[in-house]
A and B are shown apart, each in its own frame.
Chain A
């Protein structure tokens, strides 16, 4: 079965650089979520999109922005990177059907290292 695709899987950037993470949801899933998982931490919700509109926002820094495109893929843009941004970034998708809209399916993550 198709899964959530994230690219790149690994990314190394220097401080103050920018990074773009991409997420391709499972086909027919119209909702995308982004989470950040620091070393030894639990995943923390950043932002979500439903039908290309931002639906909720968590602890996402102002330096980060995200959007969902017409094909439902999403991109997380991160600017002025800081050492503390080093983490595993997960994308999850879910369908907005009555029975399944709470089921989030996670991608493998993008490991961002800021040096």
Chain B
């Protein structure tokens, strides 16, 4: 069965610093992978997705993610973090070609001024 692991519960970075949020998945075939962001009390916003092709995908708000099959990873990156990026970030995988998403436990990003 597919699963998603986000090893970091909290991450704190300084504004302007680079960011990498880790995501590891468990899936036999090429998965469909997603990153969502959730601001406090808000819904989930799709940042980017990977289906196939180029392993480096660009998303909204300056985020990118790289699919690495050999490491079963899909880490999210941003070269320079803004204070408005403080939120909870969820990695997700599509389950069994069923269109439903399995989410990781989330990583809460705190941004220091």
Contact = CB atoms under 8 A, between A and B. Distances in A.
The finding on whether chains A and B are genuine partners in a shared complex, rather than unrelated, reads yes
Contact of A104 (B42, B46, B98): B46
Contacts of B42: 108-109
Contact of B99 (A42, A101, A109): A101
Contact of A106 (B45, B98, B100): B45
Contact of B36 (A31, A101, A106): A106
Of A55, A92, A102, A105, most B-chain CB atoms within 10 Å: A102
A94 interface: yes
Interface string A52-95: 00011010000000000000000000000000000000101010
B10 to A, nearest CB: 12
Contacts of A94: 99
Contact of A31 (B41, B45, B99): B99
Interface residues of A, number: 26
Nearest to A3: B43
A43 B105 CA distance: 9
B105 A42 contact: yes
Contacts of B41: 111
A103 interface: yes
Contact of B49 (A35, A41, A45, A103): A103
A92 B45 CA distance: 10
B27 interface: no
Given A33-B100, A45-B100, A102 B94 contact: yes
Interface in B11-33: 32
Nearest to B44: A106
Given A55-B99, A102-B49, 10 more contacts: A33-B100, A35-B101, A42-B90, A42-B106, A43-B44, A48-B100, A90-B43, A102-B34, A102-B51, A106-B46
Interface of B: 32, 34, 36, 41-46, 49, 51, 90, 94-95, 98-106
